[in-house]
Amino acid sequence: MTQWKSPWRYGGPWYGNDVQRVRFERGAKRHFPTLTGVTRTSGANAGRSYKIVMAVPNYEPRHVEILFPKRTPSTPQITADGPTDSPHRYDTHQLCIWYPGDPEEHRWVLSDGLLMLLGLIAVHLFREAWWRETGEWPGPEAGHPSVEASPARAGAP
């Protein structure tokens, strides 16, 4: 007799649950066709990782990686290629998209989903490119201890 196996996996964080992961990713691939995702269960990059070639209006596209580490699965680490000079990047080249100390309604949270996060990343990359060209940051800003601070020390994604 063959044992019946549930089609739903419930191991690990949210991305280990197929229903939660599909809800989180809803609509993202349709709006961002180059998006790929993979889950790694061990190693330095254990967690759920997404890669995308992100279009940046009027500027060069950027290769972006979003990692939801296994140890902090609700806090993404977001990196992008290209120039790294920006008032809103950490020394690890991670993007600083929101101020971690802000209330939830002023920053991205996991329940906002991947599509919302990708939109915020696109806006951030445009603002960085604009800042490099003009010296002006077009949009709201929150200060942080220093651009050189690591995300872990600053409490950011």
Q: What are the domain boundaries of the chain?
A: 43-154
Which residue positions in the chain have pLDDT lower than 50? 4, 6, 8-10, 147-157
Residue 3 pLDDT: 54
Cβ(70)–Cβ(47) below 8 Å? yes
Q: How many angstroms separate the CA atoms of 95 and 139, rounded? A: 15
State how far the alpha carbon of 103 is from the alpha carbons of 69, 99, 107, 119, in Å: 22, 9, 7, 19
Residue 2 pLDDT: 53
Hey, is 80 helix, strand or coil?
strand
Which residues, in sequence order, are bridge partners of residue 114?
A: none
Question: Is the pTM higher than 0.85?
Answer: no
| pLDDT tens by residue, 26-53 | 999 999 999 999 999 888 889 999 999 9
Residue 141 pLDDT: 79
